[in-house]
Structure 1
Amino acid sequence: MGLGGGTFLVQNKVLPGAYINFVSAARASANLSDRGYAALALELDWGVDGDVFTVENADFQTDSLKIFGYDYISPKLKGLRDLFLNAKTLYAYRLNSGVKAENTYATAKYSGIRGNDLRIIVSANVDEPTKFDVVTMFDTVIVDNQTVTTASGLVDNDFAVFKKTATLEVTAGMPLTGGTNGTVVGTAYQTFLDKVEAYSFNTLGCLSTEETVKSLFVAFTKRLRDEMGVKFQTVLYNKTADHEGIINLKNAALDAGANGTDLVYWLTGASAGCAVNKSNQNKLYDGEFEVYTDYKQSQLAAAIKAGEFVFHKVGEEIRVLDDINSFTSITVDKNDDFQSNQVVRVLDQIGNDIAVLFNTRYLGKVQNNDAGRIAFWNDLVSYNKQMEQIQAIENFVSDELKVEKGNDKKSVTVTNPVTPVAAMAKLYMTVIVQ
């Protein structure tokens, strides 16, 4: 459904939808939606080609072999294990598409080099010698076993698509061969962003080190947040962006074979999974990568001022220094509150939830009269009280929330003052000796 959404300067929008501005005030039954949704584009040895596929945390733990081609404990899945420490759902996309491995009896379900680790074993059935037992093996694991008279009776499984016209003959194990990963073409990231735009997620991750790719993700994030009203944040490695939607990760991963950006996995999951009333500040890095933390205090202070998200060493532990994003250009309308990811999560939650409320319950369904606006006001008050109850905001005053008729018969204007709550970060203490 082509609804409008985003921010507004004047009430001149053409498309129906929810247009929501966030500005800083001068200083002197809607439900809260779930968090934990992440999106990531990956180079894989096995998996769905050409489309976004959904992986739940529980499915990753139990079905990683058929989804990604490796057992859960494989070193190849270290990054994804980091992500799923905090994320509950991943919208994944495979950037590379190569050739599917095959042999006389079957073709691998997906392209990639992992298809070369499949084998088909055909043996005569002990009880019915006229029939064949057809076993599909992935490395040393039996993943499928069928008893048939001819190949036409074989049913495709999670790993192999059988050639129904093949003639079955006893074989101790015929490997599939010719599988290749393919390379990541220049348009792969753009294709991913085009496809993932239809999904609702809290945090988008980018593992690329190429400046053109990172700039593409920045532009995508700004367009969706600022023009379309889709509120999420994007994690990038070493990318200055000066925007509250971009989290600029400073630390590199030092592991052998790591490309430096592997900490994006953990941070994407931690950002997506962080509750609206919580902060990742001082959060323990409990992942599997070796983190570069050789920074002086002056460098850490400079990183904070530059809008860089930094891990630092506290004793033997690696912890988040401050839960901030890349925004640094403070103005009267957008103050330093917007540097805090906790504040941004609160505002994003409000923006997303109220847009869903309006678009599903009120748009085209409720009259724009006093009764309709009062009903909308009541829902907004109820929503704000929920946010206050979980300590995401404080000092909410229902009388300050205004729902009024806009400049035309179809428009409604809402003024919703909120005070986001932030976690304690600094202690200033005076000890008085008497």
Structure 2
Amino acid sequence: MAGGNWNSQSKTLPGAYVDVYSSKNATLSSDDLRGVVFTSISGLNWGQRGVVKADLSTDFLALFGKSIDDQALLGLKMILQNARTAYVFNFNSGTVATGTSNVLPWSFAAKHPGTIGNTISVAITPDPSNLARFIVKTILGTEVVASQTVAKASELVANGYVVPTVNASDTADDGAAKLGSLVTGVTIKLENGTTDASSSLDDFVVAAETYEYNTITAPMSAAGASIQTLIASTAIRLRDEQGRKVQAVVPYSSLFSPNHEGVIVVGNGVMLADGTVYNTSIMAGWFAGTTAAAAPNESLTYKRVFGAVDTEPRLNESAQIAAVQSGQLVFDASRNLVRVLVDINSLTQFTKTKGSEFSKNRVLRVLDAIANNTRETWEDNFIGQVTNDAAGRDLFKANRAEYLASLQAQGAIENFTTDDIVVSEGNNKDSVVATINVQPTDAMEKLYMTVYVK
């Protein structure tokens, strides 16, 4: 669906074109879809190439060939500490492992390409409690990951690891002859699965443009990797050209200085009690999940990183000031606790249309929520459905007023009245022009107090 910014009423495609500006005298559809992160993963040697959906209920072993506690999935685990859902672009590709046996009516293929398929075995044994039936177990390494009991070849179905196919020569009797002759167990080891190490970022970008999410990050990629710059530029383009109010969360790199509210730059890592260090890439994943899940009226300033006891590197006050002034989100350690120092993005150069309030993520979450909710509401309930007359425009105004009133009730904005919304007909019969004035709130951060002795 088309969207983005506008400076004249000249758009071709139907859509919601939403500009968000600082006012000259600015004061600092349904429920918003929060808690969704778009991310990438590579080097797993297993899994469907492209986007897969993951949450805490996901069978990670079947989907990625690793448990969620495996080091290869650390970035995803950190995202899901706070995020509700992750769309994961798996760069895996190659050929699937296969296996067959002359004494069985099936041929087997791994469900996904990659060398992990070569660690899969399928064991078939007669059922000792019913010799007319057969137990088929799928084994990944040494772990039984699936089991099914069948009487006929056609009853065996695919699982998360293997896809069985009844051999053409065994379809006529549904495998009865071969299964009837099976008196001992047979194990087939899959082999010849390969992983294609080459990967193109083009498919990743295309996918990132077609899913709805709050943040985008690549926690398992190094700070200087090209994908980090790519996701930052993608978020900026989605915000500025398509009206998709997402944020990229990337580790600090001297090679890139985004200076944009759509990019959050993580400036240091953290250390756990056992000495394990989570670098800036991993912590970019943690913050991507955390900020994606944050409500519009929630500030992440001083948000605690549970399990962390120190920062890496540890920054003194002058270094913290320098980092914040350069647009870095950094972590602070005090009393064996680690917290987000200030909930900011990388915007440091302010203009009349983007004042300093745009650098505060809580304020930006409010503005993004308004823009995204308006776009989704317009697409779902107004485009092609409501007549562009006074009654139709009043209906849209009432809808926005109800939504903004709900934000005010949450403490996300203040001083809102329906007069802050103006909806009028545009230059063409199919266009509508809307102006909304809002005052986002922010959280208490700085206390200036004087104590007198009387």
TM-score (norm 1): 0.90
Partner of 2:388: 368
Aligned mates of 1:377, 1:76 — CA distance in 2: 49
Aligned mates of 1:87, 1:50 — CA distance in 2: 22
Instruction: Give the 5 Å matches for 1:48-63.
Output: 48-57=47-56, 59-60=57-58, 63=59
Partner of 2:206: 194
Q: Which of these residues, 10, 13, 23, is aligned with residue 11 of structure 2?
A: 13
Partner of 1:116: 118
Aligned mates of 1:126, 1:305 — CA distance in 2: 72
Unmatched tracts of structure 1, length 5 or more: none
Q: Measure how far apart 1:196 and its partner are.
A: 2.9
Partner of 2:104: none
Is residue 2:250 matched to residue 1:236?
Answer: yes
Partner of 1:246: 263
Q: Give a deviation string over 1:320-342, Cα, whole Å, max 9, x none.
A: 01111111111122110000111
Unmatched tracts of structure 2, length 5 or more: 101-106, 171-177
Is residue 2:73 matched to residue 1:77?
Answer: yes
Contact 2:328/2:344 (CA < 8 Å) preserved in 1?
yes
Q: Give a deviation string over 1:53-105, Cα, whole Å, max 9, x none.
A: 11233x23xx2222222334444433322211110111111012133333325
Partner of 1:218: 232
Query: Secondary structure of the residue that 2:94 maps to in structure 1?
Result: coil
Instruction: Give the 5 Å matches for 1:140-219.
Output: 140-148=142-150, 151-165=153-167, 170-171=184-185, 173-185=187-199, 187=200, 189-207=201-219, 208-209=221-222, 210-219=224-233
Aligned mates of 1:356, 1:73 — CA distance in 2: 36
Q: Measure how far apart 1:128 and its partner are.
A: 4.2
Query: Secondary structure of the residue that 1:408 maps to in structure 2?
Result: coil
Aligned mates of 1:145, 1:6 — CA distance in 2: 51
Contact 2:46/2:115 (CA < 8 Å) preserved in 1?
no
Query: Secondary structure of the residue that 1:12 maps to in structure 2?
Result: coil
Counterpart residue type for residue 16 of structure 1: P
Contact 2:308/2:338 (CA < 8 Å) preserved in 1?
no
User: Quick one: structure 1 residues 288 and 424, their matched pair in 2 at CA, closer, same or farther if it must change by over 3 Å?
Assistant: closer
User: Quick one: structure 1 residues 419 and 178, their matched pair in 2 at CA, closer, same or farther if it must change by over 3 Å?
Assistant: same
Contact 1:32/1:349 (CA < 8 Å) preserved in 2?
no
Aligned mates of 2:96, 2:279 — CA distance in 1: 27
Aligned mates of 2:97, 2:327 — CA distance in 1: 46
Q: Measure how far apart 1:178 and its partner are.
A: 3.7
Aligned mates of 1:313, 1:428 — CA distance in 2: 22
Q: Measure how far apart 1:234 and its partner are.
A: 0.8
Aligned mates of 1:297, 1:290 — CA distance in 2: 15
Q: Give a deviation string over 1:283-316, Cα, whole Å, max 9, x none.
A: 1112679851321211110110110111121220
Counterpart residue type for residue 192 of structure 1: F
Contact 2:124/2:136 (CA < 8 Å) preserved in 1?
yes
Contact 1:253/1:261 (CA < 8 Å) preserved in 2?
no
Is residue 2:87 matched to residue 1:91?
Answer: yes
Contact 1:111/1:179 (CA < 8 Å) preserved in 2?
yes
Q: Which of these residues, 88, 99, 104, is aligned with residue 103 of structure 1?
A: 99
Q: Give a deviation string over 1:109-142, Cα, whole Å, max 9, x none.
A: 1123433332222223324446532211224432
Counting aligned pairs with the same residue, the percent is 33
Counterpart residue type for residue 241 of structure 1: P
User: Quick one: structure 1 residues 252 and 350, their matched pair in 2 at CA, closer, same or farther if it must change by over 3 Å?
Assistant: same
Counterpart residue type for residue 214 of structure 1: Q
Aligned mates of 1:259, 1:102 — CA distance in 2: 39
Instruction: Give the 5 Å matches for 1:327-338.
Output: 327-338=347-358
TM-score (norm 2): 0.86
Number of aligned residues: 426
Contact 2:269/2:277 (CA < 8 Å) preserved in 1?
no
Partner of 1:421: 441
Q: Which moved more, 1:239-248 or 1:114-123?
A: 114-123
Contact 1:45/1:181 (CA < 8 Å) preserved in 2?
no
Q: Measure how far apart 1:33 and its partner are.
A: 1.4
Is residue 2:321 matched to residue 1:301?
Answer: yes
Contact 2:79/2:290 (CA < 8 Å) preserved in 1?
yes
Q: Measure how far apart 1:205 and its partner are.
A: 0.8
Partner of 1:27: 25
Is residue 2:452 matched to residue 1:432?
Answer: yes
User: Quick one: structure 1 residues 180 and 263, their matched pair in 2 at CA, closer, same or farther if it must change by over 3 Å?
Assistant: farther
Contact 1:346/1:420 (CA < 8 Å) preserved in 2?
yes
User: Quick one: structure 1 residues 429 and 122, their matched pair in 2 at CA, closer, same or farther if it must change by over 3 Å?
Assistant: same
Q: Measure how far apart 1:411 and its partner are.
A: 2.2
Partner of 1:36: 35
Aligned mates of 2:406, 2:278 — CA distance in 1: 43
RMSD between aligned residues: 2.5
Partner of 1:319: 339
Q: Measure how far apart 1:146 and its partner are.
A: 2.8
Q: Which moved more, 1:223-232 or 1:47-56?
A: 47-56
Which protein is richer in strand relative to its size?
A: 2
Partner of 2:136: 134
User: Quick one: structure 1 residues 156 and 347, their matched pair in 2 at CA, closer, same or farther if it must change by over 3 Å?
Assistant: same
